[in-house]
Structure 1
Amino acid sequence: MLWSLSLCLLSFSLLMLTSLSSLLFGIYFIMSDLVIFIEWEILHINSSSVVMTFLFDWMSLMFMAFVMYISALVIYYSAEYMHGDFNINRFIILVLMFVLSMMFLIISPNLISILLGWDGLGLVSYCLVIYYQNVKSYNAGMLTALSNRIGDVMLLMAIAWMLNFGSWNYIYYLECMKSEKEMLIISILVVLAAMTKSAQIPFSSWLPAAMAAPTPVSALVHSSTLVTAGVYLLIRFNNLIINSGMDKFLLLIGGLTMFMAGLGANFEFDLKKIIALSTLSQLGLMMSILAMGFASLAFFHLLTHALFKALLFMCAGAVIHNMKNSQDIRFMGNLCTELPLTTICFNVSNLALCGMPFLAGFYSKDLILEVVSLSYLNMFSFFLYFFSTGLTVCYSLRLSYYSMTGEFNFMSFHPLSDEGWVMLTGMLGLLIMAVIGGALLSWIIFPSPVMVCLPGELKMLALIVSVVGGLIGYELSKFYISYNLLSFKTYLVTVFLGSMWFMPFLSTYSVNKLPLWLGYHMLKTFDQGWSEEFGGQMIYNQVVDYSQSVQWWQNNNLKMYLLSFILWVVVLVLLMM
């Protein structure tokens, strides 16, 4: 256990140091407008060379700084959260492998090395989702792995198609792809790959299922690593997507995902699933603003969202830890008197998610909504943006109402306390950034002030929608359970909206019934059937038969040797005649 603790502290120190240096370099790069492209020749045989490429610009350095800062605090937090686990060192190593895969993905301008990080994320996430070894975790892990494999296949097909350009360094070809007919195919493949990794419709069901992982993993996965990988890939391919016409499709999908997740979170009672659906909603927001061509804004929101979402998960972990692993918000209540420090962190991160002025989320969300109001956009997408913003405030206030007010509903003799100082220190490190991170980032990324001139009613629309959403969330929360409840009267609608538009059922049954059944029978018929009968097994049986006949000849008596000798002599004589 001491070795595990020292591993936690060593990882925390190294990651924090690397994060700070990466942040300073990122600020220097953005001020100097500097990009460093490194090619490392690993192997050279005759005329073939294996080259590893790295791209260091302000975007990759800033993203790495934030990922390592969050992962450092998550590992520090895990030292106490996972204290009872005898295999905590294995857990820390898995988390470090996860972060390393993300680093590969961030600094790669090459599709092959991106695939290393991309597949690394998928594999390690599977190991982390099934960490608590039970049936629910196994099912969630399988759903996560199979959903992500679709994206991996799309990326492999994009790699195959990139052969037409002579290299896999896509960063060189983004400009010349504009005039190529292949551009549409590559953009479709890359968008589909990003949609699976960032859990857009119809691949959304794996994201809430991945909540089976330990809470520190959820804080890391759902803030800055796995789910943001797709958004980051599309930020890099942004020019290609805009010019190929895939932006309209992505705008629709992102808006629908945002809307669907916001509605679903208002019907959910599992604490971690509410926060997971909120992540899904924010990913939809990033995707849709990216589809409108504002890559810097999408990246800005990606970073600010990472800060408060990691904090929100860590607070949820502290609450679940105190409540003897109960995650149902109906059993919570009056937490503000029992866990004051955790509650402060929880409410600050919740308000940042809602876009409370001068917290981290406000700077990115408000700017996004103002740019949307300023842009030439159809009414449906405009409605999705603002209605989803209202839903965000709605479920956030509902969550706060259930957990912070009223009476504690779990047990009369309860163990609630704020004495976990290691966990609290990790949370307070993120609390500071959730308050000041948005302002700092806006000064760094947008050094000249952004001026958005709008009419008064459009300028106030984001605030009005937030206030109305909050009021509706508060009113909905006050309903008591009885047969007069609205959700009982409209039960089918409630089930439809609360189950992510039946996506989990469609994902699991469609995979479970036909493809796996078909794959099993193909394996039995072809791979382990005719292919074996006419392939490996046939060759093996023939070799065995020949060996046995040779053995029989060699082990037989003198008569056989004499007969063979006479035959050879006869043959030679006949040939000489």
Structure 2
Amino acid sequence: MQKYNICFVSFFFLFFFMLLNFFFGIYFIMNNISIMMEWEIISFNSVNIIMSILLDWMSLMFMMFVFLISSSVIYYSMSYMSSELNLNRFIILVMLFVFSMVLLIISPNIISIFLGWDGLGLISYCLVIYYQNIKSFNAGMLTALSNRIGDVMILMVVSWMLNYGSWNYIFYLEFMFNDYSMNYISLMIILAAMTKSAQIPFSSWLPAAMAAPTPVSALVHSSTLVTAGVYLLIRFNLLLVNMYIIKVLLLLSGLTMLMAGISANYEFDMKKIIALSTLSQLGLMMSILSMGFEDLAFYHLLTHAMFKALLFMCAGMIIHMMNDNQDIRFMGGLSIYIPLTSLCLNISNLSLCGIPFLSGFYSKDLILEMLMMSNLNLLIFFLYYVSIGMTMFYSVRLLMYLMVNDYNLMSIYNIYDEDYKMLKSMMILLFMSVISGSMLNWLIYNYPYMIYMSFNMKFMVIYFMLIGLLMGYLISNMDFYSLNKFLKSYKLSMFLSTMWFMPNLSTYGISNLYLKYSYNLKKNIDLGWSEYYSSYGLMNIMKNYSFIYYFYQINSFKIYLFSFILFMMLFMFIFLLN
């Protein structure tokens, strides 16, 4: 019982703060209040180091969702990680992770944002390598090195903002918006957000990070780490209006949606399918953000956090029951054995697809209708609508493999639906997955969007969803002989299933290009010239001097001095005689 004390304390602490943030958030929205607090830590000559806190409806609502999901995850972990010897260490890591995210959310100061940003990267590395094997280590290194690019960009923003005399970016957004020479800051912020939110070409770390325990995936890859980049861009939204890079971001995020949707249909690892689904939704958030609708991006960020955390928790429970097997080909008929978990999984999956009146529908439908009203080209329309179809495609395929097909693992099974700790935490998120969309719709928007379009444009989403549903049903029912069609297009299937070769490029490409270059630098400079002229050279000089000193120490110096004086006197005497 001693082991669970820290779990209970953490759960109640987070749940209490969730309720506090919820009530304050509603009060701030209703009265349109923002509070800015500054605490001067050090003032030395003209240098002030200030800790700033910005509390407005956005930061409070986001914190409420982070606290709700993290409290559910910790309660869930009490059962999921019950056989873990170092459970306290795991809970402390999760709490540190939540603290880093909160620091990122409430900071209007680029220094404290960097502390939270780097804290997220470091602790996510510790959590990804939690199961200490070679696969986890590789995944952790890929995650850490990909995110280092974004960390360096934030560091460069910190140094660039010295031009303004303060790091409180919230005061300078208007000025930066009018100062065209400061587009560098926008570029760096966008690059940092792309690495953290895993947009192309930094996408390969997100599915690799599934090596972490499932409760970590539920927290990290739904509402915290991967959405940090989106949240940063929402805060810096004024800088994103007059930049050409935004067009590039729109294209890359659209391609990310498409790539993740296609790759999820080739994947058989359940956690990786859900991870690729997260990647697709992040592409959706980034693309709508790059069109200038930051409130819509934030709305979808919150609704997505709920159903995606629930989806990961259901996946974790199923993996737990299947003797830690993650391959969906071994699963099937689960709705007979675990009806409550299947209910949660189906509702979260349908919410992800955007089925009407679940939480995902409100944000996704609004995003697509705003896209229809925007003046954009056919390529963006194609990327959006094919991605919507792909979402339905992989969701129906997953449901067919898990719920409808036959059970394939073993004759003696151990599947039961009576783990109440897991079920209670999932029920909290199930409730929020159903109501959070309409609740946030009432809270965030003071007035309704006026959207006017033709019948076919309005039903375009339904058409693509039905096509995706049909394709998912057909693919999941394919027998072995019809796979020959796929074998004919082996190279294309290889390209599409490996995320457009991105993992290979970001591992073998980096190792061949950067690591060999750094190895040559180390060999020629660290172990070569600098060694010879600094440490090794100094050692040789000191060694030679020490030989001389040692020679004097082991001999009687007085004899040499007396001999030298005698020699000089003899020399002077001979000189005087001549």
Partner of 1:31: 30
For 1:555 and 1:16, how far apart are their aligned partners in 2? 76
For 2:13 and 2:260, how far apart are their aligned partners in 1? 36
Question: What amino acid does structure 2 have at the position aligned with 1:405?
Answer: V
For 1:273 and 1:118, how far apart are their aligned partners in 2? 24
Displacement of 1:438 in angstroms is: 0.9
Compare 404-413 and 523-532 and name the one that shifted more.
523-532
Displacement of 1:47 in angstroms is: 3.6
Partner of 1:515: 514
For residues 3 and 46 of structure 1, do their structure 2 counterparts lie closer, same or farther at Cα, with a shift above 3 Å needed? Answer: farther
For residues 564 and 130 of structure 1, do their structure 2 counterparts lie closer, same or farther at Cα, with a shift above 3 Å needed? Answer: farther
- Asked whether the 8 Å contact 1:16–1:68 carries over to 2, the reply is yes
Displacement of 1:507 in angstroms is: 1.0
For 2:484 and 2:426, how far apart are their aligned partners in 1? 37
Question: What amino acid does structure 1 have at the position aligned with 2:406?
Answer: E
Helix, strand or coil: the match of 2:52?
Answer: strand
Displacement of 1:44 in angstroms is: 2.6
Displacement of 1:178 in angstroms is: 2.1
Displacement of 1:369 in angstroms is: 0.6
Question: What amino acid does structure 2 have at the position aligned with 1:78?
Answer: S
Displacement of 1:183 in angstroms is: 2.5
For 1:516 and 1:189, how far apart are their aligned partners in 2? 24
For 2:132 and 2:53, how far apart are their aligned partners in 1? 37
Partner of 1:385: 384
Deviations 1:234-255 (A, max 9, x none): 1111110112232211111111
Query: In the comparison of the two structures, how many residue pairs are matched?
Result: 568
Helix, strand or coil: the match of 1:49?
Answer: strand
For 1:3 and 1:532, how far apart are their aligned partners in 2? 54
Structure 2 counterparts to residues 66-465 of structure 1, below 5 A: 66-465=65-464
- Asked whether the 8 Å contact 1:301–1:361 carries over to 2, the reply is yes
For 2:43 and 2:370, how far apart are their aligned partners in 1? 50
For 1:519 and 1:268, how far apart are their aligned partners in 2? 35
Question: What amino acid does structure 1 have at the position aligned with 2:419?
Answer: G
For 1:115 and 1:183, how far apart are their aligned partners in 2? 19
Deviations 1:539-571 (A, max 9, x none): 45545554664565456425158559969x99x
Question: What amino acid does structure 2 have at the position aligned with 1:314?
Answer: M
Partner of 1:501: 500
Matched, 1:14 2:20: no
For 2:156 and 2:114, how far apart are their aligned partners in 1? 11
Partner of 1:467: 466
Q: Which has the larger radius of gyration?
A: 2
For residues 231 and 485 of structure 1, do their structure 2 counterparts lie closer, same or farther at Cα, with a shift above 3 Å needed? Answer: same
Helix, strand or coil: the match of 2:38?
Answer: strand
Compare 458-467 and 71-80 and name the one that shifted more.
458-467
For 2:135 and 2:285, how far apart are their aligned partners in 1? 30
For residues 553 and 36 of structure 1, do their structure 2 counterparts lie closer, same or farther at Cα, with a shift above 3 Å needed? Answer: farther
For 1:336 and 1:425, how far apart are their aligned partners in 2? 18
Runs of 4 or more above 3 Å deviation: 536-556, 560-567
Question: What amino acid does structure 2 have at the position aligned with 1:354?
Answer: C
Displacement of 1:495 in angstroms is: 1.3
Unmatched tracts of structure 1, length 5 or more: 571-577
Deviations 1:294-350 (A, max 9, x none): 000000000000000000000000000000011111110000001111000000000
Helix, strand or coil: the match of 1:37?
Answer: strand
Compare 316-325 and 513-522 and name the one that shifted more.
513-522
- Asked whether the 8 Å contact 1:479–1:485 carries over to 2, the reply is no
For 2:454 and 2:182, how far apart are their aligned partners in 1? 39
For 2:266 and 2:227, how far apart are their aligned partners in 1? 25
Question: What amino acid does structure 2 have at the position aligned with 1:325?
Answer: D
- Asked whether the 8 Å contact 1:183–1:244 carries over to 2, the reply is no
Matched, 1:490 2:489: yes
For 1:12 and 1:423, how far apart are their aligned partners in 2? 13
For residues 446 and 563 of structure 1, do their structure 2 counterparts lie closer, same or farther at Cα, with a shift above 3 Å needed? Answer: farther
Compare 159-168 and 346-355 and name the one that shifted more.
159-168
Helix, strand or coil: the match of 1:38?
Answer: strand
- Asked whether the 8 Å contact 1:132–1:213 carries over to 2, the reply is yes
Question: What amino acid does structure 2 have at the position aligned with 1:139?
Answer: N
Partner of 1:574: none
TM-score, length-scaled by structure 2: 0.95
Helix, strand or coil: the match of 1:254?
Answer: helix
Question: What amino acid does structure 1 have at the position aligned with 2:283?
Answer: G
Compare 532-541 and 129-138 and name the one that shifted more.
532-541
For 1:39 and 1:548, how far apart are their aligned partners in 2? 62
Deviations 1:174-225 (A, max 9, x none): 1111222333211111111111110000110110000011100011111011
Displacement of 1:373 in angstroms is: 0.8
For residues 539 and 356 of structure 1, do their structure 2 counterparts lie closer, same or farther at Cα, with a shift above 3 Å needed? Answer: same
For 2:309 and 2:202, how far apart are their aligned partners in 1? 23
For residues 272 and 542 of structure 1, do their structure 2 counterparts lie closer, same or farther at Cα, with a shift above 3 Å needed? Answer: same
For residues 440 and 558 of structure 1, do their structure 2 counterparts lie closer, same or farther at Cα, with a shift above 3 Å needed? Answer: same
For 2:219 and 2:563, how far apart are their aligned partners in 1? 77
Helix, strand or coil: the match of 1:513?
Answer: helix
For 1:260 and 1:246, how far apart are their aligned partners in 2? 21
For residues 544 and 75 of structure 1, do their structure 2 counterparts lie closer, same or farther at Cα, with a shift above 3 Å needed? Answer: farther
Deviations 1:4-46 (A, max 9, x none): 2111111010011111111211111122221111111112334
For 1:33 and 1:483, how far apart are their aligned partners in 2? 60
Compare 44-53 and 201-210 and name the one that shifted more.
44-53
Helix, strand or coil: the match of 1:266?
Answer: helix
For residues 32 and 385 of structure 1, do their structure 2 counterparts lie closer, same or farther at Cα, with a shift above 3 Å needed? Answer: same
Deviations 1:454-480 (A, max 9, x none): 111111211222122111211121111
Partner of 1:45: 44
Compare 455-464 and 425-434 and name the one that shifted more.
455-464
Question: What amino acid does structure 2 have at the position aligned with 1:521?
Answer: N
For 1:101 and 1:566, how far apart are their aligned partners in 2? 77
For residues 549 and 373 of structure 1, do their structure 2 counterparts lie closer, same or farther at Cα, with a shift above 3 Å needed? Answer: same
For 2:508 and 2:369, how far apart are their aligned partners in 1? 41
- Asked whether the 8 Å contact 1:183–1:240 carries over to 2, the reply is no
Question: What amino acid does structure 2 have at the position aligned with 1:377?
Answer: L
Displacement of 1:447 in angstroms is: 3.0
Displacement of 1:529 in angstroms is: 3.0
For 2:457 and 2:58, how far apart are their aligned partners in 1? 31
Displacement of 1:391 in angstroms is: 0.7
Question: What amino acid does structure 1 have at the position aligned with 2:278?
Answer: T
- Asked whether the 8 Å contact 1:8–1:76 carries over to 2, the reply is yes
For 1:547 and 1:172, how far apart are their aligned partners in 2? 62
For 2:105 and 2:528, how far apart are their aligned partners in 1? 44
Partner of 2:574: none
For 1:40 and 1:528, how far apart are their aligned partners in 2? 47
For 1:14 and 1:541, how far apart are their aligned partners in 2? 61
